[in-house]
Structure 1
Amino acid sequence: MIGHIITPRVYKLMSHAVSLMVPLILFLRTKKGKEDFLRKNERIGKTKIKRPDGLLIWIHAASIGEALGALPLINLIGETKNLNVLVTTGTVTSASILTKRLPELAIHQYVPLDYTSAIQRFLNHWQPNIALWMESEFWPNLILQTAQRDIPMILVNARISDRSAARWARTPLLSKPLLKSFKLILAQTNEDKQKFASLGAREIKLTGNIKFDSDQLPVNIYELEKLNSSLKNRPFWLAASTHPGEEEIVAMAHKNIKHKHGSLLTILCPRHPHRGQELATYLRKFGLIVKQRSLQEPITDKTDIYLADTLGEMGLFYRLSKITFIGGSLVPMHGHNPVEAAMLGSALISGPDMKNFAEADDILTKFQAMLKVANHHELSAAVNRWLEDEKCRAAAEAAASQCISQLTGALNKTLSEIEPILNQLVEKNEE
């Protein structure tokens, strides 16, 4: 099999060949809105920001989910250690939200593309003293070149899907050196721990999922009150973080529910807000009246779908809605974090695929804080149930609060594992 001949050297040569096309790749991605035109040089390891004096912790989080999950850890490290933090991500969305929420001593940069010269420029400039990688994004050149500089690396909140584990198992000459580059791997679940061990990782510990220790999502109180008043006691529900394939199900469910609740409003928050205009056009094909938040279109009595195609407002919509469907679960995207909604008082609904949050899914379902659905008929029935039975819905909200206490604690466990390594760095720096 070809995977068995891919070594770090072979991968490096392959990435060098691809790097010749980087200007074209960045141009096309920028044109599609997937790169920040003003900051695209960061993707080749260049920056205008000076490295701060003193120790620097580098935290890499692939996209918005990982980045938000890292925030409690970033804040805790900043508060307890007073250290400089560099946070890298790879998406425009994550950059937009993080730059508003990072603490004072933290800097955001886009992660360099995975080829040698970009990585060398990045590492030469920032000279991190330690690197924390969030979850499961492995860029071979970046990891191996960081390890070659004797920069200790820890994989935090580590998880790996069955599909990814199988893929890495097919390239053992590459995957084993990668995983052995990490001084420590802190796994979300026992299953993750076992999969990393089977791939050749060394020191692995079980600490849980720090996403469940996140602070409540922020909210603009003025906007919350304004939206509340515009709803005029209408029945409504929220479809959060939806993906292509789910919006059709939501639209069909809306039409079904409307037979019983004629003034129904559905608030739809796509996972990727840049799809807003395309989605609005698509939903109108169902005969629905759609208003877009990004265009500041007001909700009227005739509005069917309020398309919340904006960034950083999930805290607003989770507080607003007492009924929330968790997207990414009716299509094979493995779901999104249900705890964010649960801690803000929503009764929950999800599809069958919540693999990325299996522990929370199991507990919330077991305690009847979350209903499971498989299609638009079942989604309609679940929303109707919560709309019509306030006592039952209130019980689900209370159950969700109890579940949260069982899911939290990973942040302190994670910090207790990282802290001795940070202390060693601080002591060495003070000598």
Structure 2
Amino acid sequence: MASLPMTLRVYQALSAAAAPLAPVVIRQRLKQGKEDPARVDERRGMTSDRRPHGPLVWIHGASVGEVLAAAALIERLRALELGILLTSGTVTSAGIAAKRFAPDVIHQYVPYDSPRYVSRFLDHWQPSMALFIESDLWPNLILAAAARRMPMALINGRMSQRSFPRWRRMPATIGALLGAFEVCLAQSETDAERFSALGSRNVVTTGNLKLDVSAPPADDARLQRLMAATRGRPVIVAASTHPGEEEILIEVHRELKSRFPGLLSVIVPRHPARGEAVAGLIAASGLHAALRSHQDLPTATTDIYVADTMGELGLFYRLARVVFMGGSLVEHGGQNPIEAIKLGAAIVHGPHVFNFTDVYDALDAAGGAREAATRETLVGQIGHWLADAGARQSSVDAAAAVVERLGGALERTLAALQPYLLQLRLETGAARA
């Protein structure tokens, strides 16, 4: 404790003192739909799930994007017969984990960052190794794991243009946190330089795991029903949209509808609980909506289909000629376009893509994606691709080439982790003997 900077000692004291307020926080988050009422104990480090025998690799990511980025890595670790404990912090990511991973991949909600809750979590699970994805750095979680001499790695590390100057004002604090990791595997050279400047002691540029994600799955029966319901109609998808974007997209649909009869837009809100609100906006505009959560299928009179469910983007990407990536018309930072690219959609996005700067820069430069900052430019770009199949296919091909060129992060990540994984496999062999 004495060697920690004052900021972290104060943080530990305040987070310990705030623990009695957890029930109040949980009640509020339950009202907002941000917690699973059946699993709130996990937020306090408690669980009825048992720790499996043998080495256990703990992988932590903040939300859906990080969980999906780890998917291929998780499968490779399972092939090494290592146990997997996956933690995340959102209801949506828990739903995705349940759909995407084998039953032996244990998902838990990450405990609130209070020393007491973190200790309960670590006492119960006793991870053999920890892999933190990107930049979700909870101080108590990291410091408690380091105190137990647990090997830790930061994988798919990202230090955004916004976060970097903030952390530079607290060099001792970020240095103590990053110094707890044996290795930092950065997405890009820029990220690597920033992590090194902030105190990471062993930085390797491995690339972005999100470029190596597989195309998302789709239930064949559901896909066939959707294809039958939309046959003959041009379909555009707006994926992972945020408040402030749907209003623009509704107007984009209205303008394009006059040029492309039968046009169907699919809006997939980032948070499915917003489906009813989005449908209300559509109705108020005079257009017809149908909601996926109501078990509705689009009919001939449906203008905009609201796909307010979890884990079904794979269905809609397979229907779409053009995909707008949400979180980019507002200052959220954009969403990952790779899954849509792998399913053959042409990609259009807004100006705010700082969460994936390198990816979008490469795509835009090659013509594999197009930026559209306004309603008018969205209408122009989407309309161009709907009217010109050749131009659309050229963009799809260019995007696929960029993804192929930038891929390989999974193999580089596994290579960098190999010394630690080898030790775990030796422990597995010793336990069996």
Q: Structure 2: which amino acid aligns with 1:38? A: A
CA–CA separation in structure 2 for the residues paired with 1:217 and 1:62: 20
Aligned twin of 2:8:
8
- What's the secondary structure of 2:227's corresponding residue? helix
Once residues 57 and 255 of structure 1 are traced to their aligned partners in structure 2, the CA distance between those partners, rounded to angstroms, is 50
The worse-fitting range, judged by mean Cα deviation, of 105-114 and 408-417 is 105-114
Residues in 1 aligned to 2:429 and 2:290: alpha-carbon distance in whole angstroms: 58
193-202 or 255-264, larger mean C-alpha shift: 255-264
- Whether the aligned pair in 2 keeps the contact of 1:78 and 1:103 (CA below 8 Å) is no
Q: Distance in 2 between matches of 1:26 and 1:72?
A: 32
Aligned residue number for residue 342 of structure 2: 343
Amino acid across the alignment from 1:90: G
* Greater mean deviation of Cα atoms: 31-40 or 255-264: 255-264
**Secondary structure of 1:40's aligned partner:** helix
Secondary structure at the counterpart of residue 323 of structure 2: strand
Alignment of 1:107-256 (within 5 A): 107-256=106-255
Number of the residue aligned with 2:425: 426
Query: Match for residue 415 of structure 1?
Result: 414
Contact in 2 for aligned 1:8/1:173 (Cα 8 Å): no
CA contact (8 A) 1:350 1:372 kept: yes
Q: Retained in 2: the 8 A contact 1:6–1:171?
A: no
Give the superposition deviation at 1:104: 4.4
Instruction: Judge conservation of contact 1:326–1:338 (CA < 8 Å) in 2.
Output: yes
Cross-structure match for 1:102:
101
SS at match of 1:155: strand
Q: Distance in 2 between matches of 1:78 and 1:298?
A: 37
> C-alpha separation between the residues in 2 aligned to 1:51 and 1:236?
46
User: Which letter does structure 1 place at the counterpart of 2:137?
Assistant: F
Match of 1:43 in 2: 43
8 Å contact 1:83–1:105 — kept in the other structure?
no
Cα 1:258/1:109, change in 2 over 3 Å: same
Residue pair 1:336, 1:356 contacting (<8 A) in 2 also:
yes
- Encode CA deviations 1:79-129: one digit per residue, 9 max, x unaligned: 1x2111111111111111102222343211111100011011111111111
CA contact (8 A) 2:66 2:134 kept: yes
- The code of the aligned residue for 1:321 comes to A
Assess if the C-alpha contact under 8 Å between 1:5 and 1:171 holds in 2: no
**Aligned counterparts of 1:5 and 1:84: Cα–Cα separation in 2:** 35
Q: Report the equivalent of 2:374.
A: 375
Matched residue type, 2:366:
F
- 8 Å Cα contact 2:99-2:311 kept in structure 1: no
**2:118, 2:367 → 1: CA distance?**
48
Structure 1, 57-66 or 157-166: larger mean CA deviation: 157-166
- Aligned sequence identity (%): 43
Report what 1:57 is aligned to. 57
Partners of 2:177 and 2:5 in 1: how far apart? 15
Letter in 2 for 1:68: L
Measured against aligned partners, the alpha-carbon deviations of 1:12-54 in whole angstroms (never above 9, x if no partner) come to 0111222121011111111221111111001100010111111
Structure 2 unaligned blocks of 5 or more: none
Residue in structure 1 matched with residue 21 of structure 2 by the alignment = 21
Distance 1:320 1:6, change over 3 A: farther
Helix, strand or coil at the partner of 1:205: strand
How far does residue 287 in structure 1 lie from its aligned partner after superposition?
1.4
Q: Give structure 1 regions of 4+ aligned residues with deviation exceeding 4 angstroms.
A: 428-431
Residue type of the partner of 1:17?
Answer: A
SS at match of 1:309: coil
Conserved 8 A contact 1:364-1:400: yes
Task: Report the secondary structure of 2:43's partner residue.
Answer: helix
Is the 8 Å Cα contact of residues 143 and 181 (structure 1) preserved in structure 2?
Answer: yes
2:57 aligned with 1:72: no
Cα pair 2:217 2:314 within 8 Å, conserved? yes
Which whole-Å CA distance do the structure 2 matches of 1:33 and 1:63 have between them?
A: 15
Matched AA of 2:335: H
Aligned to 2:323: 324
Equivalents in 2 of 1:163, 1:401: separation in Å? 29
CA distance in 2, matches of 1:74, 1:308: 28
**Are the equivalent residues in 1 in contact too, given 2:291–2:305 (CA < 8 A)?**
yes
Question: 351-360 vs 249-258, which deviates more?
Answer: 351-360
Q: Distance in 1 between matches of 2:82 and 2:75?
A: 10
- CA offsets 1:238-277 (integer angstroms, 9 cap, x no match): 1111111111110111111122123221111111111101
State the shift of 1:400 in Å.
2.1
Q: Deviations over 1:199-227 (max 9, x none)?
A: 11111110000111111100011111211
**1:304-323 aligned within 5 A:** 304-323=303-322
CA distance in 1, matches of 2:53, 2:259: 63
Structure 1 segment 243-282 matched on structure 2, within 5 A: 243-282=242-281
Contact 1:133 1:154 in 2 (8 A): yes
Q: TM-score, normalised by structure 2?
A: 0.96
SS of structure 1 residue aligned to 2:294: coil
Q: How many residues end up aligned between the 2 structures?
A: 427
List per-residue Cα deviations over 1:398-417 (Å, max 9, x = no partner). 22222221121000000000
Alpha-carbon distance between aligned partners in 1 of 2:313 and 2:187, rounded to the nearest angstrom = 24
